[in-house]
């Protein structure tokens, strides 16, 4: 990562190297932080942030689920996101707002600690996600089960969820795969390590319900709406791993991954092992929407 540009820290845009926290920051010890990942795309009329309102709303929902008292309003964080992108003069980038329990009391309960907010952005290389665009990604079903809503709120995009996700991702990469697919404690498909999962069968599109333990992905929602508008039947359905093995196509969605084709799971080819026609169509439709080339969804873009 290039160590240049500005980072928004509690109201101030500070140089990259000065964006520091104390080693006794509560979140470093107890994972008491929530965050977002957004993308800014070079759209027709200039750079624009994709579904900013929904991402900011999810950040605040995540904070509320952990009783974190935000010191800013949602519109204030929205303005700060745009200020940060402008200050970094980037046409396209990944944006990372983070709300974390800061330095104050030490001990498990963070209720007296201030909730600090930072917003960073950087040029998105997409390296980790390159498998899955022109050729499909090779996935494995993780030996780690997805933690579930009986243990912690899965609809919070909280740092504490990502130990489980990182174990699954690292295991998949170590074993020569591109990504992990995680089952929940019931053995049903939950999601990828950082993406939602979809299957295509007989021309219809299916994804597990959120009760299976996946995050309420904003790309998931976008792709479901785009697919409906493109004429597909779209439904939520509980899926076992063999529903994926025997699907015509499998793809994953996420802010980082966008629409990522899955060619193989556990060494089993999905369909003919190539990027399928529905996946290819949705990759194109999503790229058009994100870059402002599709009037039907222009309200999803906030100009920088």
Ligand X SMILES: Cc1ncc(COP(=O)(O)O)c(C=O)c1O
Residue span binding ligand X (CB under 6 A) among the ranges 8-16, 199-207, 253-261, 285-293:
253-261
Q: CB nearer to ligand X: give 254 or 271.
A: 254
The number of residues that bind ligand X (CB under 6 A) is 15
Does position 194 bind ligand X by CB under 6 A?
yes
Structure tokens at 294: 């599709």
Q: Whose Cβ is closer to ligand X: residue 120's or residue 196's?
A: 196
Give the angle 234-38-294 at the CA atoms, nearest 5°. Answer: 55
Span interacting with ligand X, options 92-100, 127-135, 171-179, 187-195, rule CB under 6 A: 187-195
Catalytic residue annotation: 157
Contact between 85 and ligand X per CB under 6 A: no
Which has the closest alpha carbon to 158: 149, 145, 168?
149
Query: Whose Cβ is closer to ligand X: residue 107's or residue 126's?
Result: 126
Check residue 37 for interaction with ligand X (CB under 6 A). Answer: yes
Pick out residues in 164-183 that bind ligand X (CB under 6 A).
165
**Does residue 219 touch ligand X according to CB under 6 A?**
yes
- Per rule CB under 6 A, is residue 153 in the interface with ligand X? no
How many whole angstroms separate alpha carbon 217 and alpha carbon 223? 10
Query: Least CB distance from residue 76 to ligand X, whole Å?
Result: 21
Indicate whether 258 belongs to the interface with ligand X (CB under 6 A).
Answer: no
The Cβ of residue 187 has, within 10 Å, a number of other Cβ atoms equal to 10
> Does the footprint of ligand X cover residue 84 (CB under 6 A)?
no
Please state, in angstroms and as integers, the Cα–Cα distance from residue 107 to each residue in 22, 87, 102, 216, 280, following that order. Answer: 15, 37, 12, 31, 50
Question: Does residue 217 bind ligand X (CB under 6 A)?
Answer: yes
Do 161 and 149 form a contact (C-beta atoms < 8 A)? no
State CA 259 to chain mean position distance.
12
Nearest CB to ligand X, comparing residues 62 and 113: 62
Q: Is 275 in the site for ligand X (CB under 6 A)?
A: no
200: contact with ligand X by CB under 6 A: no
Instruction: Indicate which single residue of 142, 255, 261, 283 sits in contact with ligand X (rule: CB under 6 A).
Output: 255
Q: Write out the residues near ligand X by the rule CB under 6 A.
A: 37, 165, 191, 194-196, 214-215, 217-220, 253-255
């Amino acid at each position: 990562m290039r160590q240049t540009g500005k980072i928004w820290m509690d109201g101030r845009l500070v140089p990259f190297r000065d964006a520091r926290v104390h080693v006794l920051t509560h979140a470093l010890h107890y994972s008491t932080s929530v965050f977002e990942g957004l993308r800014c795309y070079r759209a027709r009329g200039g750079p624009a942030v994709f579904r900013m309102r929904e991402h900011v709303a999810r950040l605040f929902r995540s904070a509320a689920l952990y009783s974190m008292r935000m010191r800013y309003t949602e519109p204030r964080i929205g303005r700060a996101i745009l200020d940060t992108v402008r200050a970094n003069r980037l046409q396209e980038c990944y944006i990372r707002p983070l709300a974390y329990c800061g330095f104050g009391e030490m001990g498990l309960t963070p209720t007296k600690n201030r909730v600090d907010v930072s917003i960073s952005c950087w040029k998105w290389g997409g390296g980790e996600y390159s498998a899955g665009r022109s050729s499909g990604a090779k996935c494995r079903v993780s030996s780690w089960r997805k933690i579930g809503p009986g243990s912690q709120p899965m609809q919070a995009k909280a740092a504490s969820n990502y130990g489980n996700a990182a174990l699954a991702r690292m295991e998949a990469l170590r074993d020569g795969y591109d990504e992990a697919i995680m089952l929940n404690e019931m053995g049903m498909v939950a999601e990828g390590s950082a993406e939602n999962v979809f299957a295509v069968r007989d021309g219809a599109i299916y994804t597990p319900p959120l009760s299976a333990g996946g995050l309420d992905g904003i790309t998931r929602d976008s792709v479901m709406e785009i697919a409906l508008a493109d004429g597909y039947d779209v439904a939520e359905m509980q899926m076992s791993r063999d529903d994926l093995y025997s699907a015509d196509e499998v793809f994953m969605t996420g802010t980082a991954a966008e629409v990522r084709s899955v060619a193989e799971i556990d060494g089993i080819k999905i369909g003919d092992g190539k990027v399928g026609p529905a996946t290819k169509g949705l990759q194109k439709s999503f790229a058009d929407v994100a870059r402002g080339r599709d009037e039907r969804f222009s309200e999803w873009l906030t100009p920088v």
